Structure 1
Amino acid sequence: MLTLQRLRGLPHLQLTRVIDVGRPETPDGVRDACRNLAARQTALRTRVVRRGGRFTQEIVPVDDVPIAESECADIADPVLAGLVAEERREPVDLRRAPARFRLVSTRRGPSLVVLTCHHALADWWSMETAAGELLSEMSGGGPAPAPVPFAEYADRLAAESGAPDADGAYRYWSSHLSGAKPPALGPDLPAGHRGWTTDRYVARTIAPASSVRSMAKSERVTVFAVLLAAFAKALHRLGGERDVVVGTQLANRVRPELRHLMGCFTTTVLLRLPDAAEPLPALSRSAQRALAGAYRHGQVDPRRLMRLPGLSSAWRATAPSVLFQFVPADVFGDDRDALPEPLATAARPGAGLPVDLHVAVSVTGGSVRCEVDFNGTVFERATVARLVAALAAALRAGAEGDSHG
């Protein structure tokens, strides 16, 4: 099973989403909406068992998906924060069901649904799909139609595993990454637990959205390409390397039938920008070419990518894991901003991931926002702050037409 292979060694990696469902008349409506969601989205019911030395998927009945219930005073109640923290910590048992719901009613506020899914069978796009479907049903819009044509998640995995162009994709990556070096961002604390978890957080507004959109339009590239180029330039400024490789996650949902299907389709690839000393407009065009190649050849196993002959074995042994992610506002909405910490933590794409540095950049409203979740046993906060400042400086210089930006 390709998805489990990607997550091998990470049996308890899971995602938690807090969903505000307003003030329903009775808890029964919320409970029914959760069951309807699990009935439509079979990824929520696809347990994984090992039989005869192989992984096997089984679709369990809706009633086998756990639904717990709790009560607290309001969304600022420390009891609620504790419940969410416990949901994040408590492993999801794939042998039973890959997901669980907790319905939380408050005496002085909205009701909440805390949905927790194992990452083997869901990604952050899936969690937003779940939130949208729940809210639609709770607001009277009725349940969403069943996803087609991949009615069962197992069908999608079979199609993914049998992709006919897999060998061609690895040939592309072998050529693209030959001789590449890891990002020149060494660990501050060499004895730290690399790839353990992103347990620290930094956030900052780094640029006006209008300036980034203007650069993208003038260079005929996407906003993602501009932000990726600026991040490569920030790594160049901090480490001095011109040939920069940046890890990123692709939604991998190009086909229309996958847009609203829950499942773990996300794939991680390495994007190479060979001259990060270029001015930002030219570097943005290089970033666009790298992204185009990644989208065409993205159906790959990240572990196999890291074993390509052109990559140094020292990379895997010593380099911190760094992921840069563009977070579209229409995928990850602003509703989490209404939640107090630590509830909002559960809505961050990089929270708790087994990487050392996760940089999520989003364009929301009139601003570009940068959120960094990082491994506190590898990086110091000051280093992360310098990286974010360098990213902001690169965008500012590019917007001002600075040839060195």
Structure 2
Amino acid sequence: MTVRQALLAAVAAVGLGAASVAVATSAVPPPSQGTLQQYNVSSTYVSGLSSGGYLANQLHVAYSSVFRGAGIFSAGAYDCAQDNLSTALNACMNTTSPRRTPAQLEQETRDRASAGAVDPVANLAGSPVWLFHGTSDSTIAQPVMDDLATYYRDLGATVAYDSGTASGHAWVSPLGKNPCSATTSPYVNNCGGDPVGDMLAHLFGSVHPPSSAALTGKLVQFDQNAYAPGGSAAAISMGGDGFAYVPKTCQDGASCRLMVTLHGCYQYFGLVGNALMDQAYLNEYADTNAMIVLYPQATTMSGNPRGCWDWWGYQSAQYAQRSGPQLQAIVRMVAALRGGSTPPPTTTPPPQCVTASNYDHTVALRAYALWGLTYAAGSNQPLGLWNIATFSSLRQTSPGYWVTC
């Protein structure tokens, strides 16, 4: 994929009458084949858009001992989808179906932490979280993202939430080529301000102005198979190659932060090339703020034709837990850059299906009966008549929460 050699010197301000922002004239450097080397990494953060925003939240919650904070464009609360595509589409993007409340998801998180499936919830207290939802975004309904803000606040995180910019569904940057209200490829919009700077300032406490000169770092293109469980990135819907931007100061041994940035659906390298890496406005901040930026890449597979990150269980029922394959792969990349061992995944086996009569399910508290009908405990999914002749198959995805197989 050819790397663009120049950017516009300035981008016109659009939306909400915000002032223009001076932007860099440099392009992301051409990638060079290499491996992820160890650097002097002081702290690690995660950010993402849409499916990448959901995955950023999953990483932050499941590995809160690794990720100090999170910046999220347009996503919902932790495990909103509950391992169900219909729920993901109709309750966690649109609001045409009921979804679990923030309080329910918070309790699910605590239960998983008690079982060791995610890191201790106490780690999230005081953690900086920056959220963004555009008023022209019809892909993720604002109440869904409001739930994410509530979820984080209830767990003690320090939340900043920009919900007043007239953006469509996109990463928003002064380098974005799309107009503010657009929802179109490559999903990087310009709204006249600098939400990336706002995000980094909230996560880090303060930032130096971004570079306006040619970037001095290197863009490393590395093999993601080396980090995927089982050695196959394609098997977990990740691309063969990932990328990392490493400023010269970090190459020279300076103490540097690490930012993991996750693209959205239809935004992976194999489809849009280097558009997000080039226009996200992260590399420009990286050069002046000693920050390495890791850009993992998803791709398509059966059940995932849009190249989304797994936030509804298309690849693994454990997608939102420490044992989630995509989470493990990314944390291994982080460990390679930071040095030290990778936090071990949980050894909890995947939930098994239990087939029994609806009567036996209720006796075992996997389901309950109401007016002669049976419903799965926790998910309330209908199972049919309550008797010994009607059979259902259920699996438990969290304590007390059962879904159909």
TM-score (ref. length: structure 2):
0.21
Q: Pick the structure with more helix per residue.
A: 1
TM-score (ref. length: structure 1):
0.21
